[in-house]
Amino acid sequence: MKALLDFWQKWKNPLKTQKIKEASFVVLDTELTGLDPRKDALLSIGAIKMHGGRILLGEIFYREVYSPVISQKTIPIHQILPSDLKMRPEISKILPEFLNFIKNCVLVGFHLRIDLTFLKKYLKKSGLSFPDLATIEVYGLYRWLKKKVCRRMLFISPWKSELL
């Protein structure tokens, strides 16, 4: 837990004048047809705002976008069918709304680099640019917490490790 507290204390606030409890965050996730930005497509963008440690349930951004190709292999992962996207807008139509949603926020995500790679690809195609925002990748935090929890579970009782 000390490492987590150290992270928050060392965090560089992009707005320089705010404390973390006063900062706005956007937790971001996308659904994709695959992980190769050269051949795969973005299917949806989902995001929710936080302020300090509070989740703002009324401030949600979720849009599915038209995609002519969906890999049958990824449907079980993202649960989005081709028929779901037939009447959805092109991504270029929703990007300005998305950029407005994330304005002045810190982006937070799990494997955020992948999400940002795809978003930046579509922004560039649309003649838009990605704002200079701070980002927090939570995968490292997840790995750290998992390691700590596993050690504690094994220390308490090695026979309960199947619960993890």
Quickly count: other Cβ atoms within 10 Å of residue 101's Cβ.
19
3-class secondary structure, 158: helix
Give the percent of the chain with pLDDT over 90: 47
- What pTM was estimated for this model as a whole? 0.76
* Domain total of the chain: 1
Q: Which domain holds residue 62?
A: 19-140
Over residues 21-25, the mean pLDDT reads 86
80-107 tens-digit pLDDT: 877 778 889 999 999 999 999 999 999 9
78 band by pLDDT with thresholds 50, 70 and 90: confident
Residue 65 lies in a domain: yes
Q: What CATH number corresponds to the domain at position 100?
A: 3.30.420.10
Greater confidence (82 vs 13) lies with: 82
Residue 107 lies in a domain: yes
Sheet with strand 54-64: strands edge to edge: 54-64, 42-51, 24-32, 106-109, 135-137
Residue 12 lies in a domain: no
Residue 14 lies in a domain: no
Residue 117 has pLDDT above 90, yes or no: yes
Residue 155 lies in a domain: no
